[in-house]
């Protein structure tokens, strides 16, 4: 067999075509990112000081940049995954970020680190490492508390602030959720009190009562819950939650107790959007009031949604958000 015949029959010949198309021609249709770095789909670990790190991920590309702050405390970024179908489509670049001791980030499990002040400084460390400036910060629930704190301390870096489904004080939140509880049937209230008086709020029966009477109506009204919500809350770090919030949504006995920024909202000068919902466990009237107290504030309230209006009133939620981001 001569060399020419070998090449025409051997593995090199087989490798030179793909689906009947010469590989050189096929290769001209392939696009690759630059070869000057290892590509990881936008994921990064960020040093936040003290020997600790948190996980972030960039999604999409655009001149408008948004950093997302998840709730809980102790949940994670996953319930924001619905944003992927709306923000990149509109040329908006956004960043996921799991707070310390949440799913993808480091878990030192040190309660001394679980303070409002340290988490606020953590957000600034993330911003600095990502190189964000004149960006939008969106905080949902507990993340909305952090967004307010960040806006008060570091607003020179913000182009705008979105406070989603969070009021301006812990007392306001507890007052409204207890009002919701007062409308439960008497037997349900008695059963809740039974477990609370016995300090058994982690009992599955108590959690089932919460889910059926509070979460299914005032957290997310879809049945079943969207997969990102289920995964995020399924991995919720309850230790962080109890240290900061308390035993349940009905009380604030942790480090969030006494938190109140109503009088300080007037000092937030950047454009601000508050987002709430008729069936939220946060009082929608608080969202409206907050918008009037911030000099450049505006409010959007869902008439059919709940705490996760980003899912159970999705089209209207994102229409309002995108109008704010693109104005």
Q: Which residues are catalytic?
A: 141, 280, 307
**What letter would DSSP give residue 211?**
I
Q: Which residue reads 């948004």 in tokens? A: 66
Distances (CA, A) of 130 to 37, 133, 273, 290: 17, 9, 23, 29
Q: How far apart are CA 228 and CA 238, in angstroms?
A: 18
**Cis peptide, bond prior to residue 292, ω within 30 of zero:** no
Q: How far apart are CA 321 and CA 253, in angstroms?
A: 33
- What interhelical angle do 142-154 and 116-130 show, nearest 10? 70
């Amino acid at each position: 067999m001569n060399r020419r015949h070998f090449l025409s029959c051997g593995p090199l010949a087989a490798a030179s075509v793909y689906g009947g198309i010469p590989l050189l021609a096929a290769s001209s249709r392939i696009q690759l990112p630059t070869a000057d770095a290892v590509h990881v789909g936008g994921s990064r670990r960020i040093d936040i000081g003290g020997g600790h790190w948190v996980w972030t991920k960039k999604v999409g590309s655009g001149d408008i940049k948004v950093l997302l702050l998840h709730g809980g405390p102790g949940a994670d970024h996953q319930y924001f995954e619905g944003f992927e179908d709306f923000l990149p489509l509109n040329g908006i670049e956004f960043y996921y970020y799991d707070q310390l001791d949440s799913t993808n980030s480091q878990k030192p499990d040190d309660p001394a680190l679980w303070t409002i002040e340290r988490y606020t400084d953590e957000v600034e460390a993330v911003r600095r490492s990502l190189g964000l400036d004149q960006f939008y910060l969106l905080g949902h629930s507990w993340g909305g508390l952090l967004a307010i704190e960040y806006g008060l301390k570091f607003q020179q870096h913000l182009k705008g602030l979105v406070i989603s489904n969070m009021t301006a004080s812990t007392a306001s939140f507890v007052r409204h959720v207890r009002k919701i509880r007062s409308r439960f049937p008497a037997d349900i209230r008695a059963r809740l009190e039974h477990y609370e008086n016995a300090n058994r709020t982690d009992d599955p029966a108590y959690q089932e009562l919460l889910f059926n009477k509070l979460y299914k109506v005032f957290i997310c009204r879809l049945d079943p819950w969207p997969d990102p919500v289920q995964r995020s809350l399924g991995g919720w770090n309850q230790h962080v939650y109890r240290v900061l919030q308390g035993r349940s949504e009905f009380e604030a006995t942790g480090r969030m107790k006494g938190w109140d920024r109503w009088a300080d909202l007037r000092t937030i000068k950047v454009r601000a959007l508050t987002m709430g919902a008729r069936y939220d466990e946060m009082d929608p009237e608080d969202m409206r009031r907050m918008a009037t107290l911030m000099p450049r504030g505006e409010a959007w309230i869902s008439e059919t949604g709940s705490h996760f209006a980003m899912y159970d009133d999705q089209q209207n939620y994102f229409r309002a958000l995108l109008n704010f981001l693109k104005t």
